[in-house]
Chains A and B, each alone.
Chain A
């Protein structure tokens, strides 16, 4: 009896994450998928067919028979969409590289800092999360706009004569993404570097390897799992990012998150915006699977 209760409890505990994903990921996704196969309509909700389970199997099948690929065809035909997808992927990729260039030295410095101050440094990296993401991105408008803090400072310091035009450019988006997602990249790299046995670097030096070379041949390869995890944690959300391009990128920026927003709210075209979301998800599944695989590989080699 005891054993039975035990096995039931352990099954229940194991089922929690599955239930969570089922209710909050799979079901909503199926709803979005269903809407993406519907047609736009001037109604509430603004699409047709509306499936009503209570109306019986027959009307359900009738509804399903009205599903259409039209919205997906539309995504391929109108260059706006694939341009937005490509532009999003490019912006996310560039931002990820920039974040890595800035984040790796930060993580390295933290991991090599005296053990007593590491918790403080870790706190400082996480500290920005205490302020709302939206407010922090808003604050960058005040810094980057032509009469903003940055330009005022540079002109006061006589570095420039005329204000730099940063706001509403890709540069502003890069700054916003790098700033916002830096902790997501720093933390996994830090944890990879921190658990690395420093005597490996000493061994490399002992075998005739100068410090820089030892970093390149030992430290960097061993931090790769952290680098990969960090890069995906930046790249995946950055691709679908809406707030940063909307606030900092101005109207000319083409990013899929913004396109989705305008399809949904301005055009009230729920089916097309759902199709955009489904395609975005499929695009991101590829890096997510790659990420999972590298995680599994890293875990294997630790055994």
Chain B
């Protein structure tokens, strides 16, 4: 396991200009009548990468996946897998296998039959098929269910059969369409780690479509955040969360307090923003270029905001005073909603590191919120 971990740590082929992408999506557009599902999209996905396409429903992520599988043909642009142009190659001749959101298990075949299906199509000798099926059953821990039909299995077991069926053929790329969507929360979390282990063990390239950002963050090496057929940002989970490149991405991933204001000063690597609506001044160590007078966005995550009854040392910047309006207790953490004078709600989260707190904050308490100059994100797009 240690070697896998160190591999994972060093794994960043997208930063290596020499690395050749395993899947190259080049200026792909897909239209359905008047509707543009995928709009002039380009992406590189590398060998052995766990790549997530993340977006709300209708953003084009599933269409893109179906184009990789060959069920849809790009209106323009092309897709290369392992250097080979996929144009005109039907699904049954592509080196990819897809796991369907509905699992699409063949109801008239047993678990064994389902897993062996793809192998039979390849004309694999019977004894090899048997060996491979047994291996797959072991991999997904379903040995004793080999003779069952899909309708005799639980949701989690069906999901594992679907997974075994598409990895049985040892494809170069595995496409997963919302693979955990039908599972309950606990099972989903377990399965996420199983999927990651499996991907490492088999050394496959995974492309996963999901609308669940937590799922994408947990499992993938990189995430492509999609909106209206376009990729908004492609980056590692940490980059997408901590350094979103646009208001859309900042807002889409995780919880965020979003401000809009005017730049009043930009010097010494610090930028001052006047948030007129909330009577706040924000000072931030921003690396982004912007000029005085420009309207910019500023995003700060709730867990980076501190709450206190006492006025902070420098309350003229990065601070606001308000009333505790709502308290959402999650066990591991608590999210406080602080209402400013103008009605604006600021979300602040704090980890419940100790079991009991003396004099805890309560409803209608007056509190200060404040944060550091390096806590937030300046957004110009």
Contact = CB atoms under 8 A, between A and B. Distances in A.
B117 A206 contact: no
Given A222-B107, A301-B107, A301-B151, A208 B169 contact: yes
A213 B120 CA distance: 12
Interface string B101-142: 010101110000000011001100000000000000000000
Contacts of A197: 102, 104
A218 interface: yes
A210 interface: yes
A55 B317 CA distance: 112
A217 B121 CA distance: 11
17 contacts: A199-B100, A199-B102, A200-B106, A202-B104, A206-B96, A206-B97, A207-B92, A207-B117, A207-B165, A208-B93, A208-B118, A208-B122, A209-B92, A217-B117, A218-B106, A301-B107, A303-B151
Interface string B327-351: 0000000000000000000000000
Given A202-B100, A207-B117, 4 more contacts: A204-B117, A206-B98, A207-B165, A207-B169
Nearest to A201: B104
Contacts of A210: 90, 92
A302 B96 CA distance: 30
Contacts of B156: none
A202 B162 CA distance: 13
Contact of A206 (B92, B106, B149, B151): B92
Contacts of B96: 206
Contacts of A26: none
A222 B108 contact: yes
Contacts of A303: 151
B69 interface: yes
- Secondary structure type dominating chain A contacts: helix
B11 interface: no
Contacts of B90: 205, 210
B13 interface: no
B91 interface: yes
A213 B149 CA distance: 22
Given A199-B100, A199-B102, A301-B149, A208 B108 contact: no
Most chain B beta carbons < 10 A, residue from A203, A205, A217:
A203
Contact of A208 (B100, B102, B121): B121
Contacts of B97: 206-207
A205 B104 contact: no
Contacts of A221: 108
Contacts of B165: 207
A301 B69 CA distance: 30
B71 interface: yes
Nearest to B116: A207
A208 B104 contact: no
B92 A203 contact: no
B169 to A, nearest CB: 7
Contacts of B151: 301-303
Contacts of B169: 207-208
A202 B151 CA distance: 20
B121 A209 contact: yes
Contacts of A208: 92-93, 118, 121-122, 169
